[in-house]
Structure 1
């Protein structure tokens, strides 16, 4: 049978999805599901010796899976000796991700291609990973060691609903391409703050935006998700259609399916005013006070967005406040306190959203070893200042690590953000009942050499333990872990609370009863535990 005949039935799956009352029946057959896609497994040479979905060796399974995808899709598959493969591995943000060597890279061009890949993974027993932007800071988050790495790069369409109220964005986009496509229409969406961050992981993990005090997080502004389920069926999850899946995808990560389209509510494209205002260590107390006051006044003026980073650079301890206003206003009253503090630099200027994410991309260099690690606590000025002082006192411990740049970043989950988390049936994050702002203490560090990995991890862990213990002592600690900043040693789902975790597990069981997205897609944050167990 020719390849064109094998895949001729692919377009039928969306209709099948709508007709199904059970996403995956007990007598589900992968072979039959592939046949519904127009794929006859008996005609694929690499599958001649395969008769079912029993346990197989990873090497054999993934060789068969990749050869099958190559037979069906030709140039959409890249093997280790190809340019397409090196383009994939060389384009990750963190070196830990670049180091992963998948058996093959698959670049689907439409949703039914993704269905076929998921089903072939099930048939052969080969594990897979899916990549949108590839901005995670640990190995295997969006690339499959020895398996199938699904790269959404070619699924990069951005289209508008006729009334322009919703933008449909493919998972191959990052925020620069998404914003650039919408800007000529005078529109934007609630999305990321740096150019190269992919839309996929960002939206599924929550998504703090420049506009979050106005509209909530990015996940709170998704009209619907187009999802490839474990059975290969394609459903559109919204507040009215598959509402349980819609809720789970708003913060639940990659545990329920592969999203092939994000339908986001649009907003008017802004000209923002903002940039970094940098302060010396003598001003840290005033900076923390200003940060707390702006966070507490988010309901008074929700156009303000801020975060503050504390670091040591060229022998100087510095605070960098990124102050953004969602209107082109240079003297917004809410930032008056910051402007009254003597600064050594201020880059504030008018910027379009496209210009802003390009500017901030320079603050997130790629090609380095990276770690993120957050905790949460109730907003408290004394605690915040104690965290800064503790961090600065520990920095000499990293002096011997080549290229190391440890940073702590303060962000607040404000009252208007918390209120917006109740929209459209709520999200999965477990924050909607909070009555006071939440302080995210976020550690970020980059460094040069793999030989220093354990030193860096131990340093960050030591600091996190200290600030966690202090938060608990003061009665401020919050179990919430922001997935988009979480380290490989953390379990964000547990931080959503027992009830939300149980609900997420129930949704996963309904849509993925054989746990395909827990076992065959093992990367990133699963429903039961951290990706990596600490060894120190």
Structure 2
């Protein structure tokens, strides 16, 4: 990951008096002379005009044809908010300009990669600015193909598709619609956890490594507290692997849990196996992934093989990561279409087994991960009617509380909260440990001395909010 080429922070952003646009200068001067109450009245109008003057068609207002589709980019309908403007910069310099406008007009801002975070206000806002990275859509291999420059506006299916042409992949996300930056900056889970660690692991490859090591450490799970990253160089890996996806009936739950415990033992000595467990009240989906093109089903998953299942989501065999992710996506869409007339609640539980090997590979981050085998757990819900939100959230909260209480009773509870799974009423950064949080605050203060990303950023796991949940 290249975190120093270039990061648009408050430090080093161009001043507005150097933008060399007479119309912009006139509007800014007009705004500067207004009283506080007058600024509140004219802020939206003057800010909108300036964004249009400086970004043209890449500044999308409510009156723009593109506005509604841009507003609905986030995966969760809870996040379909009503920003004043969605700006789609094409360079780091333009991102710096957008940030400077937000500072000048004191506008709330949100940064959006793929828009998959489910918490309202994290990737959009009401009445502020959304800085969309959608125009950063490059996938460029280095000359020796050992690294790839990955655009921060891409989703993982796009990345795998582009690299698949070269027989390569990267240690990225497993869900096709997840965006690149959100996954990695939250300490993302990949198929290759046990081999390479969490998705944000890597080495600094830029020429300024010596002066940016603190920032490189901080972004490995530190989220949106330090600036806007405009470029990531990821190490490439072979893409051909063995995989299979099965759908089991809910009645197989107890047998699958028994198999899961045996699988935990297997991955303590086999760093190439990865498992996705995705269970609803209707079915349980297991995705088996092995980081090698083996001919026979790997022994690491043997504890599941004899459990009767309903169907193969993806048949067993060797394929590229792109083919696996695309296959799961296609079948999921087909099944969703078949059930489009069904209304109501869907509860989902996700188990994510993590080996001690994965945790050992993930040291050197602010996440505070203990180097032992562990189980990450996600409970989530989809529902149709807004009036049911409070009841549904209370039910999910109860599931999580019981799971945590059980872990504590058994003496196996670990405090870490994975930020990409965390709900708005949780506090994942606090789970990193007090020492890491203070170190993160120090890095944020160095690269954002005015606290713009703490003060103006509309949502996200911000250091200014640690301890407030």
Establish whether TM, by shorter chain, passes 0.5: yes
How far apart are residue 482 of structure 1 and its match?
0.4
How far apart are residue 141 of structure 1 and its match?
1.1
**What is the SS of the residue equivalent to 2:30?**
coil
2: CA distance, partners of 1:241 / 1:55: 40
Residue 349 of structure 1 corresponds to which residue in structure 2? 316
**What is the SS of the residue equivalent to 2:262?**
helix
CA contact under 8 A between 2:429 and 2:466: conserved in structure 1? Answer: no
2: CA distance, partners of 1:285 / 1:257: 46
Residue 74 of structure 1 corresponds to which residue in structure 2? 56
Task: Determine if the alignment matches structure 1 residue 179 to structure 2 residue 160.
Answer: yes
**What is the SS of the residue equivalent to 1:83?**
coil
Residue 269 of structure 2 corresponds to which residue in structure 1? 300
Task: Determine if the alignment matches structure 1 residue 290 to structure 2 residue 256.
Answer: no
Residue 194 of structure 2 corresponds to which residue in structure 1? 213
How far apart are residue 445 of structure 1 and its match?
1.1
Structure 1 residues 478-522: Cα deviation after superposition (integer angstroms, max 9, x where no partner): 211101111111111001111111111111011111111111112
Of 283-292 and 179-188, more deviation after overlay is shown by 283-292
Structure 1 residues 276-298: Cα deviation after superposition (integer angstroms, max 9, x where no partner): 241442x3333112212222322
For structure 1, the residue ranges without an aligned partner over 5 or more in a row are 1-13, 225-235, 369-400
Residue 269 of structure 1 corresponds to which residue in structure 2? 239
> In the TM superposition, what are the counterparts of 1:269-418 in structure 2 within 5 Å?
269-281=239-251, 283-313=252-282, 318-329=283-294, 330-347=296-313, 348-350=315-317, 351-361=319-329, 402-418=343-359
Structure 1 residues 289-331: Cα deviation after superposition (integer angstroms, max 9, x where no partner): 2212222322422221113233212xxxx43322122233341
2: CA distance, partners of 1:466 / 1:138: 22
How far apart are residue 107 of structure 1 and its match?
0.7
Residue 136 of structure 2 corresponds to which residue in structure 1? 155
Distance 1:142 1:466, change over 3 A: same
Distance 1:310 1:180, change over 3 A: closer
Task: Determine if the alignment matches structure 1 residue 504 to structure 2 residue 469.
Answer: no
Residue 231 of structure 1 corresponds to which residue in structure 2? none
CA contact under 8 A between 1:488 and 1:530: conserved in structure 2? Answer: no
Task: Determine if the alignment matches structure 1 residue 105 to structure 2 residue 86.
Answer: yes
Distance 1:191 1:89, change over 3 A: same
1: CA distance, partners of 2:171 / 2:360: 16
2: CA distance, partners of 1:155 / 1:78: 17
How far apart are residue 475 of structure 1 and its match?
2.3
How many pairs were matched up? 455
TM-score (norm 2): 0.89
Of 476-485 and 197-206, more deviation after overlay is shown by 476-485
For structure 2, the residue ranges without an aligned partner over 5 or more in a row are 337-341
CA contact under 8 A between 2:114 and 2:153: conserved in structure 1? Answer: yes
2: CA distance, partners of 1:54 / 1:269: 59
2: CA distance, partners of 1:487 / 1:307: 20
Task: Determine if the alignment matches structure 1 residue 514 to structure 2 residue 450.
Answer: yes
CA contact under 8 A between 1:279 and 1:345: conserved in structure 2? Answer: no
Distance 1:362 1:185, change over 3 A: closer
TM-score (norm 1): 0.78
Residue 151 of structure 2 corresponds to which residue in structure 1? 170
2: CA distance, partners of 1:70 / 1:33: 18
Task: Determine if the alignment matches structure 1 residue 524 to structure 2 residue 465.
Answer: no
How far apart are residue 447 of structure 1 and its match?
0.9
2:25 to 29, 32, 44: 44
CA contact under 8 A between 2:17 and 2:25: conserved in structure 1? Answer: no
**What is the SS of the residue equivalent to 2:110?**
strand
Structure 1 residues 265-284: Cα deviation after superposition (integer angstroms, max 9, x where no partner): 11122243221241442x33
CA contact under 8 A between 1:286 and 1:341: conserved in structure 2? Answer: yes
CA contact under 8 A between 1:280 and 1:343: conserved in structure 2? Answer: no
2: CA distance, partners of 1:514 / 1:508: 10
Structure 1 residues 117-168: Cα deviation after superposition (integer angstroms, max 9, x where no partner): 0111111111111111000112111112111111111111111222222111
CA contact under 8 A between 1:44 and 1:71: conserved in structure 2? Answer: no
Distance 1:129 1:204, change over 3 A: same
2: CA distance, partners of 1:312 / 1:322: 18
1:95 to 77, 96, 112: 77
2: CA distance, partners of 1:53 / 1:416: 60
2: CA distance, partners of 1:522 / 1:210: 32
Of 326-335 and 204-213, more deviation after overlay is shown by 326-335
**What is the SS of the residue equivalent to 1:44?**
helix
1:254 to 224, 246, 258: 224
1: CA distance, partners of 2:114 / 2:59: 19
